[in-house]
Copies of this chain bind each other. A is one copy, B any other.
Amino acid sequence: MNALETILTRRSTRNYRPDPVEQEKLDQILDCARQAPSGGNNQTNHLLVIRNKEVMDELAAMAEKAFSKMEPDENTYASLRRAIEASKKGGYVFHYNAPVLIAVANRKDYSNNIADCACAIENMMVAANALDLGSCWINQLKWLNEEPEVVAYLQSLGMKEDERVYGALIVGYPAAGLPNRNLMKQKGNEVTYID
C-alpha cells in the first residue's frame, strides 16, 4: 500500500490476538510518533509504552472503579457515558486486552498538549496499518487524567509530576487476521470551498 491508501484505510480494531508486537515494528511505530509535528517544535510528548499484563489489568480495574463512581448527565460526552454505564455493570476493560497500550502524556501547562499528542497518535495508527497491525484510539486515560489514583499510578510508572495523559492507543494483531480496511462511510466532515 502507498501512503495515501494506508491513511485512507486505517480503521479502529477492538479485538486482538494475544501475540506480542515485534520490537522492530514497535520501534517503527514509535519513530513515527517522535517525528510528528509539535507546537514550536516543542517535542514534549512522553510515550508510556505499556506491555506488562499486570499493569494493564491494574489500569483497567482502576478505570472501571473511577468511571463507576461517575453520574452522567445530559451534557456528558456520549463515549464517556458508555464507559460509565459499562463500568457500573462491571467487567469493563477499556484497552480491549490488546498486547500494547501506549499512553501519550505531555505537560499540563502547555497549551498545545492535546494537539501534539493527537498528531503523534494519528501517525502511530497509520504506521500500525502499514505494518498489518490493528490499532484504536483510547480516550479513557485522558478522561481520567486528573483522577488522583490514576495520576499517582502513572507517575509510579514513569510519568512526570507536570505531565498528564492527553490520548492513548492500543496496538496488536487483529483477531480477524488483517485489519479491517474498508473506507468509513461519511456522515459528516463537511467541506466548504472559499474560492
Chain A: residues with CB nearer than 8 A to chain B? 1-10, 12, 28, 30-52, 55, 77-80, 110-112, 114-115, 117-123, 125-127, 129-131, 137, 139, 157-159, 166-167, 183-184, 186-195
Supply 28 A–B pairs (Cβ within 8 Å), ascending by A. A4-B127, A7-B123, A8-B32, A9-B35, A10-B35, A12-B37, A30-B191, A36-B122, A37-B125, A43-B184, A43-B187, A43-B188, A45-B189, A46-B189, A46-B190, A49-B193, A50-B194, A52-B194, A55-B194, A77-B112, A112-B139, A114-B118, A115-B167, A119-B122, A120-B189, A126-B126, A158-B194, A159-B192
Question: Shortest distance in angstroms between A182's beta carbon and chain B's nearest beta carbon?
Answer: 10
